[in-house]
Structure 1
Amino acid sequence: MPAEDHVTSVIATFSGYSVILVGIGVWAYKREKALKAAHQDEMTAHYLGGRSFGPIMTAATVFASLFNGFSIIGAPSESFYRGFFSLTWIVSVVGIISGYFATGLRLRRASEVRNHQSSVDFITDRFQSQYCRASIMLLQVVPTGIFLAGQIVAIKLAFNPVFGLEPDNQWPSIIIVGVILLFEWAGGLNSVAMTDTIQGFVIFVSYLCVPIAIYMNYGGYEDIDLSTFPRPDFFQTPSKFDQWQFWQFTIINIAFFGLPPLIQRTYAARDIGSLKLAYGVLVCGVWMAIMVGIFVGIMAVKVFGPGFYPPSPFNSMMENLMDLGGFPKVTAVVVVTAFLAAVMSTIDSLIIAASQLAMNEMVMPWVRNNERLSSDRSVTWFGRACSFVITAASLAFGLHWEGTTFSIIELQLSMTLQTVPAWFIGLYSKHEFHPWPIATGAWVGGLWVVLFYEYYMRDNPDRLPINNGVSGLGINLAIVLIGESTRVLLYPNKTGDRALEPEESSNTNTNSLTTDPTTDGSESDEGKKEPRLLFPNRPSWDVPSLAHFGDKPMSWRVLKKYMSGTHEVATNPYWVTFMLISMSLATPLVPQKEPPILEDGTFAYEPTRVFGIPWFAWKSILFSVIPSFFLLIEIVRMPTKFGPEKEDWEIFDDVPQPSFAEKERLIGGDNSIKFNAQSTKEIDDSSGDSRNGADGKSLPMEQAIENKAD
């Protein structure tokens, strides 16, 4: 039970922060109204902040989305109970940033050109399949809800004890989440981003002060006496089980980029220059935030001694600092306030991301063509209803969760990992995969994650070190590869690399197949031309409306065209391989349980330590520096704007590229890929009437080459 003056101090500080929140809410409400008045549509203004976030706000809101309240108490709790195993958080966050950086450029460029708004728009546009769209959407909504529930778990573990409340008291969580929901209704992403900016600054300052306060009063790692330290096993090399867990947790964290809040920030930034600063802040911030959290947890073991097992080591350590008074007390009060602010901001962020996904993918397709239901007022209330339902479901899940903070984030990331094949195939594959194997692999992998956790991993101390996410990803990839190989071998479809137009009646006849390659593109209900289909031989129920993305399909060649002239290190297989290997080497691959601990609790021989830290932990730290350093180099090299696109006739989105010999024949030996005048004449001569349409008029070169290909 905290002292009364501690509670008073926290209440006073938190009240001051609440006043700031009210001011931010008013500002965000007025800003959103101004964006709408400036002809911004309701969805863009509320859910993307008008796509106007500059470098500082983008960096702050991305940093807050990653280093949230869940992370603030997660790292100290993990290190308090598992020691230096918690270093997995550092290399895991490096994996998160690598995945976010590798996918961010292409997702951002596609969103600019194709007007993508929700995190599933890219999947819908790229694969042109309702089945694939629904599968990925489910694997985004559910993990986002679990992540939101994790923040509620954080409130239960740390908020209640700060104010002297019982840990199982649910009303503080309900009240806080209710207030946050009102802020989301009022200001949208603008309020989230501004509170993130303030919260990020407070966390940065307070986290610089916390280790200083602890070191001044209790010393550091080098002051730990192993003969009296309650957990000497922290200085033993980890078991084989823990080493496997360490590596697998690193792998599943790469999927973090697929969560809607991070993709939403990618779309909301003003330009890629703003994202560049955000990536750099993340790489540098991981070392400060996680290393401080680990230090807090391990020093708490030293401070409290044996037999002390609090529900929140972070909270207990902050109370201890408050008892010291002076500088430590001020620091602890500010850190606790920053934690509460981080939880509130992250909850707001997750609510608005999940609400946007539900609105874009479930509500808007239903109301888009109804003038009354699609009005700004109706859309606003539909959005509020989505936010309320998602929040209520996550609140119920979080209040009844009985697992650890590590287990809930592991479950969330394991499910998100099943979307990674769809993202990377869609972004980088030069082979057009049929959407059905991708969708089937995703939802089967997601189902495996849940069932394997529930019936094998949960409360099973004798389980093997098999991660449900990594094993689910293996099943996922096997289904994708087997399904696509079967299609290519048994049902070869020559149109997989060449887009064909949907049958005009495909939107009305639910039993028809889109098979006719000669028909003109059908028109959507909005009067826009639908793009041609990459895989037309599918039932019409599987073909979504795509006209609002453009009148051409987004094939891999179109993506390549969009990124022409822009440096992309993620397309370099050597760099990708190097990053994966270097992150894997951060796992402490060492003989287990060395040095042995004797029956009297002492070591058989003194463990090797450097500045008080065991040598295997130093190995992990140093190997984590390597991918961080090279990632930072590429972020510095990242452009601040996209390069100019090549001409339309230079790269075609729907015509197979000619062979090298054909290029040489057309170009006449020129090393350039461009078609010269002689190439044009040869195409004209060899294709007969291919340059002329039905009315005798000359056709564009792109259409002429298409006719020749036919």
Structure 2
Amino acid sequence: MDDETMDAQLAFAGADAIIILCLYAAAMILIGWLCGRGKGLGRSVSEYYLAGRNLGVITLFFTLYATQYSGNTVVGYAPQAYREGFSWLQSIPFFTVIIGIYLLFAPRLYAVGKKRGFVTPTDWISQRFHSRAVTALAIVLMLWGLANYLLEQLVAIGHAVSGLTGGAIPYGWAVIAFIVVMLVYEWLGGMRAVAITDAMQGIILMVGIVIMLVGALALTGGGITDLTASIAENEPEKIGVPDTLTSINWLSMLVIVGFGAAMYPHAIQRIYSSRSERILKRSLARMTWMPFITSGLVFVVGIICIDLYPGLDVSASEELVGMLANDVASLNPFFYWTMVILFGAVVGAIVSTADSVLLSFSSMISHDIYGKLIRPAASDRQKVLVGKITGIVLIALLLWIAWNPPGTLYQIFVLKFEILVQVAPAFVLGLYWRRLSSTAVFWGMLVGAAVAAVMTLSGHSTFLGVHGGTYGLLLNFGICVVGSWLRPPSAESQRATATLTESATPPARG
């Protein structure tokens, strides 16, 4: 990194940024304390992990928003747009596809979960397929996805705080400090605290991204037309029409991200947390506009940075958003304070996503593994305690990995979907097709995950532009369909499935 870039980073350092971060941390802890007062969080699994199944439309919308658009969007996607150019336009539609996949199964799953008292995603799998093997494999795949996602957020916290303070707070110390904050307010307030902090961060994040874009345009000194002309002259490969292989890769990403993100266990638990099916549908309907407001604007910011900061390598480009915030902050006092507050919100949103993931991970360990397999007679208080202890152990392990992160945020982002996406047929097909058998689901998940893992670990994560996870998912669906036709479940099993899903009918109007 050259001296000019370093100077730009240091220009944003100072007591103001640290004060804002401290205020955010204090606010989140206060919210956790207020949400936990008198709620019996140590006694009720439903209250601690699902906020009493009582999230309203505004809180549910913003907690879905802050979960879906976090560190990997603001801190990670702008650098990816910088490196790839206009071909990263795919980051906008695949967030829309995610909402489409949710609408395929979320309302129906909510109705079943409400009736049966589901707490974790694998409650559905265990009651639908009555197979310990299927349930165990689904737990492993989901925990893998959650661990990768949490690792991504820890790395993002370090980059965000380091960029905000110009290195005054080092990467490692930033991760440690906000892990402590996250654990404290999550322990105090559970899902209710997580959802309310999500709402607070989501509002600030949306406003801040718009202001950052305005500031970036001011730095260019010209309009979008002049910008694209400059990129076409200096780096034409980033503005050309994508070739066939890139277009195929786009389609593969739409499949793997659309199905994979909809399978986030913490997102599925937000489905269970909704106050009603109507509120769930209204929240999802509002989410369809968010790709254009969030990832679309972040994409434009990344494209602008191609002209503002030419020639950055992969490592330097990972700090791109912090560099831009520093330069925008130097324009005038208004931009200065909005950038400080924005980056505080970015850090807060990353932490909010991380605590959602940690809460879901803990719930699956305590409810599915400890509560069902190890000690079925355990009380809710004991399950919650086991979940909290497990969270600390997981954080300690991931902290060790995050200290020397294994790749860019985007690489970590792709890795989790390769495995997590393989549970999709169990939800998408299982909710509608009574003939789907547990044997076919097990072998579909296992073969799909194996194909994705082998391709990723061998260094050939794509073939002919298609990701290993997409190949695995296609094989997975094929095995589920063909296997279920050849060896369908018994008539008794199909009747039990009909009974399980009979409440998932369209609600009466009115």
Q: Which has the higher helix share?
A: 2
Q: Indicate the residue corresponding to 1:444 in structure 2.
A: 447
Secondary structure of 2:87's counterpart equals helix
- Summarize deviations over 1:566-622 as a string: whole Å, max 9, x none: 38xxxxxxxxxxxxxxxxxxxxxxxxxxxxxxxxxxxxxxxxxxxxxxxxxxxxxxx
Give the whole-Å Cα distance in 1 for the aligned partners of 2:457 and 2:392. 28
Give the whole-Å Cα distance in 2 for the aligned partners of 1:162 and 1:208. 18
List aligned pairs for 1:595-610, cutoff 5 A.
Answer: none
Higher RCO (Cα < 8 Å, 6 or more apart): 2
Q: Indicate the residue corresponding to 1:212 in structure 2.
A: 214
Q: Does structure 2 conserve the Cα–Cα contact (< 8 Å) formed by 1:51 and 1:267?
A: yes
Question: Which piece of structure 1 moves more, 123-132 or 447-456?
Answer: 447-456
Q: Identity of paired residues, percent?
A: 23
**Is 1:159 the counterpart of 2:157 in the alignment?**
no
Q: Does structure 2 conserve the Cα–Cα contact (< 8 Å) formed by 1:322 and 1:328?
A: yes
Q: Indicate the residue corresponding to 1:473 in structure 2.
A: 473
Q: Does structure 1 conserve the Cα–Cα contact (< 8 Å) formed by 2:12 and 2:329?
A: no
TM-score w.r.t. the length of structure 1 is 0.66
Secondary structure of 1:48's counterpart equals helix
Q: Does structure 2 conserve the Cα–Cα contact (< 8 Å) formed by 1:144 and 1:259?
A: yes
Q: Give the counterpart of 1:17 among 19, 24, 27.
A: 24
Give the whole-Å Cα distance in 2 for the aligned partners of 1:425 and 1:391. 34
Q: Does structure 2 conserve the Cα–Cα contact (< 8 Å) formed by 1:176 and 1:344?
A: yes
Q: C-alpha displacement at 1:415, in angstroms?
A: 1.3
Alpha carbon RMSD of aligned pairs, Å?
A: 2.4
- Summarize deviations over 1:273-332 as a string: whole Å, max 9, x none: 321232123111111101110111111111123457433211111111122232222222
Q: Indicate the residue corresponding to 2:77 in structure 1.
A: 75
Letter in 2 for 1:289: T
Give the whole-Å Cα distance in 2 for the aligned partners of 1:320 and 1:97. 35
List aligned pairs for 1:163-182, cutoff 5 A.
Answer: 163-165=165-167, 169-182=171-184
**Is 1:314 the counterpart of 2:321 in the alignment?**
yes
Q: Does structure 2 conserve the Cα–Cα contact (< 8 Å) formed by 1:251 and 1:470?
A: yes
**Is 1:359 the counterpart of 2:362 in the alignment?**
no
Q: Indicate the residue corresponding to 2:310 in structure 1.
A: 305
Aligned length, in residue pairs: 498
Q: C-alpha displacement at 1:349, in angstroms?
A: 0.6
Q: Give the counterpart of 1:329 among 325, 336, 342.
A: 336
Q: Indicate the residue corresponding to 1:410 in structure 2.
A: 414
Secondary structure of 1:236's counterpart equals coil
Give the whole-Å Cα distance in 2 for the aligned partners of 1:277 and 1:220. 37
- Summarize deviations over 1:651-684 as a string: whole Å, max 9, x none: xxxxxxxxxxxxxxxxxxxxxxxxxxxxxxxxxx
Q: Does structure 2 conserve the Cα–Cα contact (< 8 Å) formed by 1:213 and 1:327?
A: no
Give the whole-Å Cα distance in 2 for the aligned partners of 1:375 and 1:165. 46
Q: Does structure 1 conserve the Cα–Cα contact (< 8 Å) formed by 2:367 and 2:383?
A: no
Q: Does structure 2 conserve the Cα–Cα contact (< 8 Å) formed by 1:355 and 1:390?
A: no
Gaps of 5+ in 2: 1-5
Q: Which structure's CA Rg is the greater one? A: 1
Q: Does structure 1 conserve the Cα–Cα contact (< 8 Å) formed by 2:107 and 2:281?
A: no
Change (3 A) 1:251 1:565: closer
Secondary structure of 2:206's counterpart equals helix
Change (3 A) 1:109 1:377: closer
Give the whole-Å Cα distance in 2 for the aligned partners of 1:384 and 1:558. 31
Q: C-alpha displacement at 1:444, in angstroms?
A: 2.1
Give the whole-Å Cα distance in 1 for the aligned partners of 2:135 and 2:209. 41
Secondary structure of 1:562's counterpart equals coil
Letter in 2 for 1:310: S
Give the whole-Å Cα distance in 2 for the aligned partners of 1:301 and 1:366. 53
List aligned pairs for 1:243-254, cutoff 5 A.
Answer: 243-254=247-258
Q: Indicate the residue corresponding to 2:133 in structure 1.
A: 131
Give the whole-Å Cα distance in 2 for the aligned partners of 1:250 and 1:419. 17
Q: Indicate the residue corresponding to 1:89 in structure 2.
A: 91
Q: Does structure 2 conserve the Cα–Cα contact (< 8 Å) formed by 1:249 and 1:410?
A: no
Letter in 2 for 1:299: I
Letter in 2 for 1:71: T
**Is 1:387 the counterpart of 2:391 in the alignment?**
yes
Q: Indicate the residue corresponding to 1:270 in structure 2.
A: 275
Q: Give the counterpart of 2:121 among 112, 119, 130.
A: 119
TM-score w.r.t. the length of structure 2 is 0.91
- Summarize deviations over 1:141-182 as a string: whole Å, max 9, x none: 100111111112212333223323399842321332233122
Q: C-alpha displacement at 1:193, in angstroms?
A: 0.6
Gaps of 5+ in 1: 500-533, 535-552, 568-638, 641-710
Q: Does structure 2 conserve the Cα–Cα contact (< 8 Å) formed by 1:441 and 1:479?
A: yes
Change (3 A) 1:368 1:45: farther
Q: Indicate the residue corresponding to 2:104 in structure 1.
A: 102
Q: Does structure 2 conserve the Cα–Cα contact (< 8 Å) formed by 1:230 and 1:301?
A: no
